[in-house]
C-alpha cells in the first residue's frame, strides 16, 4: 500500500507526545541534569535557552523525531521557562502528563489542519486515511498512523483466518454435497474439528470449531463482518492485538457453551467475530464525539442488524428439531462469550493505540477477569458434569 514521506515536525511532535519515550536509555547518563546547572536560583524552572543549548550539544544522540518533539516543548513555552520537574521527567525517561500537554498545546497551532482536508492523495493513501478515520478517535493518532503506515506487514491474520474458513467450508460442501444448512447433514458433526461437550478432553476443539460453519448463510455473515471490521482494525492495531482479541473470543465462546449450554456442540467463528465487532462498536460509542467516520450511526445500525440476524439464526437453529437426535443443533452461547470479551478486553486493546498494554491498569483487570473465567470453565469441564450427574447425549 505505498509508503509515505517522513512526517513533518508538527505531526511527528503531536504523535510522539502521546507515546513519548523521550531519550534513549544509553544517552540519559551522559546528559547533565543537576539543579545547580540549570536552575541556580532554585525557582523550579529552567530557561528555554539553556534547554535548547542542551539539545544542540546532544543532537547526535537523539532520534530526529524525538528532537522535533523536544524543540516543540521549548516552543510551547512563550514565557521562556520550562518546569524543572518536566525537565527531570524528560531526562529520566518517564512519561509526564504536563510534559505531554505542553507539547500538544505548543503544536496545536501548527497541526490544526485535519487529515481529512489533505488533497491530491493517491488511492492507497485515501484508503489509509479512511481506515484511520474509521478506527481512531483522535486526530493526533490519525495523523501519526497515516504518516507511519507502510502496509508491512499487511493484515495477514484476518485474511489468513478468513481464507482457511472458506477453504474448509468448500471442502465440507463438496464432501457432503450440501452448502446450505450443512449442519443438518447426518455426517456434519462427526468432523473432528467441531467442539462437543462430550469430547471436551480433546483440547484442540476449543479453537478448531471456527473452521466449521452451519452453512453458507452462517459463513457469509461471519466473513463479511470480520473482513469489514477485522481487517481495518488489524491495519491499525496490528496482528498481535487483533489476534489476541479474536482468539480470546473464540476460546470464551466454546467455554461459555460448556458452562451455560452443556449438551450442545458449537461451530463457526462467531465468538471471535463478535469479540472484534463489539469491541469496535463500544469504542465508537465511548469516543462518539472524536470519531469522524462518515455515517457512523448508519454503520453501527448495519453492523448491529447483521449481528442480530446471525444471532437470531443461531437461536432458531438451536431449538429447531435435530437432524440426528438426541444430539441437539449447535449452541448460540459462543456469540455471547465473544461479546463479553469484546466489551471488556477488546475495548482496552483498541483504546490504547500505540501504547504499551502492560502499563494500563484496566488491561490487567480485564486480563485477570478473563483468566479467572477460563480457569473456572476448565474446572467446570473437569468436575461439574460428574457432580451434576449430567447425562450427555452421545456425539453423532
**Looking at the annotation, which residues are catalytic?**
270, 335
282/342 Cα distance (integer angstroms): 8
351/172 Cα distance (integer angstroms): 39
92/380 Cα distance (integer angstroms): 48
Go through 77-110 and write b for each residue having 16 or more CB atoms within 10 A of its CB, e for each that does not: beeebbbbebbebbbeeeebeebbebbbebbeee
CA 31 to chain centre: 38
Q: What is the DSSP string of 235-258?
A: HHHHHHHHHHHHHHHHHHHHHHHH
Go through 39-76 and write b for each residue having 16 or more CB atoms within 10 A of its CB, e for each that does not: beeeeebbebeebeebbeebeeebeebbbbbbbbbbbb
334 near 266, Cβ under 8 Å?
A: yes
Per the structure block, which three cell numbers stand in for 27?
544517552
Give, in order, the Cα–Cα distances in Å from 302 to each of 85, 172, 231, 293, 396: 50, 30, 17, 14, 37
Amino acid at each position: 500500500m505505498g509508503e509515505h514521506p517522513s512526517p513533518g515536525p508538527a505531526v511527528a511532535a503531536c504523535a510522539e507526545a502521546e507515546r513519548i519515550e523521550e531519550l534513549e536509555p544509553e544517552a540519559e547518563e551522559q546528559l547533565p541534569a543537576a539543579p545547580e546547572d540549570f536552575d541556580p536560583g532554585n525557582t523550579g524552572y529552567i530557561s528555554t535557552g539553556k534547554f535548547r543549548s542542551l539539545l544542540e550539544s546532544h543532537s547526535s544522540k537523539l532520534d530526529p523525531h524525538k528532537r522535533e518533539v523536544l524543540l516543540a516543548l521549548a516552543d510551547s513555552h512563550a514565557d521562556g521557562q520550562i518546569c524543572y520537574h518536566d525537565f527531570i521527567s524528560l531526562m529520566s525517561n518517564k512519561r509526564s502528563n504536563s510534559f505531554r500537554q505542553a507539547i500538544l498545546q505548543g503544536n496545536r497551532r501548527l497541526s490544526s489542519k485535519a487529515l481529512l482536508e489533505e488533497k491530491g492523495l493517491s488511492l492507497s493513501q485515501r484508503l489509509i486515511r479512511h481506515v484511520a478515520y474509521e478506527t481512531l478517535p483522535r486526530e493526533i493518532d490519525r495523523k501519526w498512523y497515516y504518516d507511519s503506515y507502510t502496509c508491512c506487514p499487511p493484515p495477514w491474520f484476518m485474511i489468513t483466518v478468513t481464507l482457511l474458513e472458506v477453504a474448509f467450508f468448500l471442502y465440507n460442501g463438496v464432501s457432503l454435497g450440501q452448502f446450505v444448512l450443512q449442519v443438518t447433514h447426518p455426517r456434519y458433526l462427526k468432523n473432528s474439528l467441531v467442539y462437543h461437550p462430550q469430547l471436551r478432553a480433546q483440547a484442540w476443539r476449543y479453537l478448531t470449531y471456527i473452521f466449521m460453519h452451519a452453512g453458507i448463510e452462517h459463513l457469509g455473515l461471519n466473513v463479511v463482518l470480520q473482513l469489514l471490521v477485522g481487517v481495518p482494525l488489524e491495519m491499525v492495531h496490528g496482528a498481535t492485538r487483533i489476534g489476541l482479541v479474536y482468539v480470546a473470543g473464540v476460546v470464551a465462546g466454546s467455554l461459555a457453551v460448556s458452562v451455560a449450554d452443556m449438551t450442545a456442540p458449537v461451530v463457526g467463528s462467531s465468538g471471535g467475530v463478535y469479540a472484534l465487532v463489539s469491541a469496535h462498536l463500544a469504542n465508537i460509542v465511548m469516543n462518539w464525539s472524536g470519531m469522524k467516520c462518515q455515517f457512523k450511526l448508519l454503520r453501527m445500525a448495519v453492523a448491529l442488524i447483521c449481528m442480530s440476524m446471525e444471532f437470531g439464526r443461531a437461536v432458531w437453529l438451536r431449538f429447531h428439531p435435530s437432524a440426528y437426535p438426541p444430539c441437539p443443533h449447535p449452541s448460540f452461547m459462543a456469540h455471547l462469550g465473544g461479546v463479553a470479551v469484546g466489551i471488556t478486553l477488546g475495548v482496552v486493546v483498541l483504546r490504547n493505540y500505540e501504547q504499551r498494554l502492560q502499563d494500563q491498569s484496566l488491561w490487567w483487570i480485564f486480563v485477570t477477569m478473563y483468566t479467572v473465567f477460563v480457569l473456572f470453565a476448565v474446572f467446570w469441564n473437569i468436575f461439574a458434569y460428574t457432580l451434576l450427574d449430567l447425562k450427555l447425549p452421545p456425539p453423532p
